[in-house]
Structures are given as C-alpha cells and as structure tokens.
Amino acid sequence: AKANIGVVGLAVMGSNLARNLASREGNKVAVYNRTWSRTEEVVEAHPEAGFIAAKTIEEFAQSLSTPRTAIIMVKAGKATDAVIDQLVEVFEPGDIIVDGGNALFTDTIRREKAVRETGINFVGAGISGGEEGALNGPSIMPGGSEEAWHTLGPILKSIAAVAEGEPCVTHVGTDGAGHFVKMIHNGIEYADMQLIAEAYDLLRKAAGMTPAEIAGVFEEWNKGELESYLIEITAEVLRQVDAATGKPFIDIVLDQAGSKGTGVWTVQTSLDLGVPVSGIAEAVFARSLSAHPRQRAAASDLPGPSAPPAVSSSDRDAFIEDVRQALYASKIIAYSQGFDAIIAGAEEYGWDIKKGDIAKIWRAGCIIRAQFLNRIAESYAEHPDLEVLVAAPYFAEAVSRTQEAWRRVVIHAVAAGVPTPAFSSSLAYYDGLRAERLPAALVQGQRDFFGAHTYKRVDRDGTFHTLWSGDRSEVEETGSH
Ligand code: 6PG
C-alpha cells in the first residue's frame, strides 16, 4: 500500500510529527531524510509506526498515493529551499508540498508563487508546541490554497491538539498567512515569557523571595485567570534544583537569552506595518541586552537607587497580588498588540484571517496555550470588527480592575531599580492608547517648524503650514507634500 502522507526531515520535530501522523487511524506515512542512517534509526526505533522508508527522493515520491502530500521539517532557510527544489523535480501537478518549519512568511510567499507555477501546491504551515506537541498534538497554522486545504485539512485535523472538542488547526489564509500568524504567535510568546520573567525578578529582588517560594506563587497563579502552559512550566523551572551544586537551577543558568529569529521578525514586520507591538519589542530587546556580557560588565558599577523601597513580610501578599495583576494586564496588552499586527498583516497582504479562529487554535497544543484564549475568541465572536482587543468588554473590565496594581508595580520597580521593560512599556502603551490628547500635536508642530511637513487642524479639513521663519501666519497647502 502507498502512503497518504510523507515527512521529509527526521530530526526531533520531524520524526515526532511522523510518529504522530502514523498513530492516527487511516494514515500511512512515508519518511525521507538526507542521511539514510537517520531514517534507519527512526524506522527501527518505532516499528509500531509502520513507516515506509525511502532511500532517495524518487523512492519517496513513488511511495506516496496521489495527490502526493509531503511535510518538510527541516531547518528554516536554505535547507528548506533545497528540499523544495528536490520535491518539485519528482512531484506532479496537484501534489502538495507543506513547509512545517518556522519560515519567514515573505519566503513562504515567494516559494508559494514559484511552486504554484509548476502546478504543485505549496503550503506554509506554522506548527507550534515543540517536540512534545509534534508528537501528541500541536497547534497548526497552514496557509496556501483552498484546493490544498481540501486534501490537507483532514490529515492536519487528525494530528492537531484538541481544545474543547475542536482540532487546533484552521486554514489561516492564502500563501504566507499561516507562517505570518505563527510568527506573531512567537512574538506573543516572547512577550509572555518576558513578562513572566519580570514578575519573577520582582518577587526575587524586590520581595526577597526564594526560587522555590516563587514556584509556589506561580503554581497558585496557574489556578486562576493566568492559567497557561508558560506559567505552569515556569513553576517547574523554578522548582528545579541543580544536582551538581545543590543550588536552584535558575541560579546556575547563564543569564543570556538566545533566540532563533521569529521575535525579531515580528517586530521588524510590525515596524513596517506601523503597528506598535511595544511589549513584544521590549521582550526582544531584553534578550539582546542580556546577551551583551561585556557591556553589562562595563556598566555593573553604575549606581542604583540609594533608598530602594522594601517589601515587608506583612506587605508581601499584597505585593504578590499586585504583581499578578500587573502581569495579567500587561499580558492583555501583548495579545492586543499581537492581534493588531495580524489585522494589519491581513490588510496588507490580502488575507481573510478570522481572528476568533486564530484564538481558538491557540487554545491547545501551542506554547502560548492558555485559558485566556477562550476570552479572546469570545470577544471576536461577539464583536468581529473590534478596533482593538483591549477595548473589548471582557478585557476592558479586566484592565480597569488591575490597572491600579499595575501602576503600583511599575512605580515600585522603578524605585527599586528592578528593570521591567515589558511591564512598563505595556502600561505606557495603555496610557497612550486611552489618552484624549497626545503630544503628537507637538511633534507635528516641530516637524512643520523645521521641515514644513505640514499639519492638520482639529477644527477644519485641509493641510496647513505655518510660516515659521516668516511672519508666522498660517497658509493652507493646496499641492501634495
Ligand atoms: C513553538 C515555538 C518554537 C520556537 C521556539 C524557539 O511555537 O513551538 O515558538 O517554534 O522555535 O520557541 O524560539 P526562540 O529560540 O526564538 O526562543
């Protein structure tokens, strides 16, 4: 019998995804890897999967029933292009090539266009959930054509995570839409992780708590409105004790955060789209700052506050609750900004992205999975044309309830000299968004002064310029500037 689906690239994510596919009723899975020894290893380790192992790409194509469907799970970038080229040689019109890696969405747009010219379908699919998700059920964000989704949809639904009875996969939109949404997912992941890290840092440095005590706090928080995978694993990381030294694991890890690029892409793309994803940007910058050890060493003697506020033991519970509320409020901003980027991207690239469906497929399987996503899905279901997520009734109520605590935490952090860039910038964004008047009017005045960049008036249509170096009278512009 031939296979109905194939996987190319058998590193951990690829082999786990292949095993997941093989474990579902009705699937027969062909596998191919650049080095045959790895294929043999995976096939021998998992006899239950009944893989059809292909030695060459030709053999791989022959082992698939038509329309052939193959998921590529290789490193994003050149390796992906190389595999696509190979598959295009041996596949036929109507077949489907899926890229399941973390590709940059503009690469996916380019690849989809090129592959489509051969009559073969190309689908860029974001897959979230790490190794565990790939094996037991990830959240999947496919782009590509309707035609490809018709064949691919049932297969992806069979392996996706399930949230409240619904598979965590939806046809996000055409060409690069899936990888775009996966990129934003990762941007939100960065912000969420940084916010959690700031909460930890405050409890540690401002409230003087131990990692084990803080683990207990996160365990508690995971029972309430913050319930999420990232909060859950944070408690586990903080509980961990290093076997070699007996110290908390967190204290033996070098404090320099790495990254593979998706957070940076989210910010770069959002800058181009004009979307202020400030919380995500601060998360990316916080990782960059951490990764400059020589600069940090050079600055390590610079002074902090001379009289940092102390959190007394009687104030501790109130402080912990304030930090919880600040975390929740900032998290709402991170998601609100992420959905803004999705809306702007959909507009720019012509994708019909259903925001509520995205929130739904993020409820399980992916790294940012959380209770909270249900509230986002409901908000978009009730108000499909919501201007900004934070203004949805549910979130507006949540922010009104938490904003005083949020302010207290940022004030405390600043006074104590504990850096909370994501907490602080989220609050600044919130205050900017709700402000009746912004000092942008002054910026416009400055721009008009030095560059005759013109301004609009609050009381009249038209475009105006003041003759700053002349008699300072106002002229109405007729031409375009
Ligand atoms: C996921 C993750 C995953 C990503 C890691 C690493 O959704 O499963 O987002 O795709 O590769 O989170 O990202 P960084 O190395 O950039 O932190």
State the ipTM, two decimals.
0.96
Residue of minimum CA distance from atom 9 in ligand 1:
186
Output the pLDDT for position 1.
87
Average pLDDT over all residues of the chain: 97
Average pLDDT over every residue of 64-81: 96
Is 479 a residue whose pLDDT tops 70? no
pLDDT over 90 at 113, yes or no: yes
The Å distance, Cα 315 to ligand 1 centre, comes to 37
Q: How far does residue 162's CA lie from ligand 1's centre (Å)?
A: 20
The CA 132 to ligand 1 mean position distance, Å, reads 13
Give the tens place of pLDDT for each residue, 350-385.
Answer: 999 999 999 999 999 999 999 899 999 999 999 988
Query: So what's the pLDDT on residue 293?
Result: 98
Tell me what pLDDT residue 355 has: 96
404-422: average pLDDT: 98
Q: Does 182 participate in catalysis according to the annotation?
A: yes
Q: Residues enclosing ligand 1, CB less than 6 A?
A: 102, 128-130, 186, 189, 258-260, 262-263, 366-367
pLDDT digits (tens, 9 = 90+) for 267-316: 999 999 999 999 999 999 999 999 999 999 999 999 999 999 989 999 99
Ligand 1 atom nearest to 130, measured from its CA? 8
**Is 165 annotated as ligand-binding?**
no
Q: Which residue among 117, 131, 164, 189 is the active-site one?
A: 189
pTM of the model: 0.96
Measured in angstroms, how far is the CA atom of residue 96 from the centroid of ligand 1?
25
Tell me whether residue 363 is annotated as binding.
no
Q: Active site includes 58? A: no
pLDDT at 142 over 60: yes
Percent of the chain with pLDDT over 70: 99
Q: Is the pLDDT of residue 481 over 60?
A: no
Q: Which member of 28, 112, 182, 331 is catalytic?
A: 182
Nearest residue by C-alpha to atom 7 in ligand 1: 128
Q: Does the annotation place 20 within a ligand binding site?
A: no
Q: Can you tell me which atom of ligand 1 is nearest the CA of 138?
A: 8
Contact 121, 97 (CB under 8 A): yes
Q: Judge whether residue 419 has pLDDT over 60.
A: yes
- Look at residue 140 and tell me whether its pLDDT is greater than 80: yes
Q: How far is the CA of 159 from the centre of ligand 1 (A)?
A: 20
State which ligand 1 atom lies nearest to the alpha carbon of 366: 7
Which residue out of 12, 128, 260 has the highest number of ligand 1 atoms within 8 Å of its CB and is therefore the one to mutate?
260
Q: To test ligand 1's pocket by mutation, which of 262, 361, 369, 373 has the most ligand atoms within 8 angstroms of CB?
A: 262
For ligand 1, atom 2, name the residue with the nearest CA. 128
287 is in an annotated binding site: yes
Annotated binding residue 14: yes
128 annotated ligand-binding residue: yes
Q: How far is the CA of 282 from the centre of ligand 1 (A)?
A: 17
104-132 average pLDDT score: 97
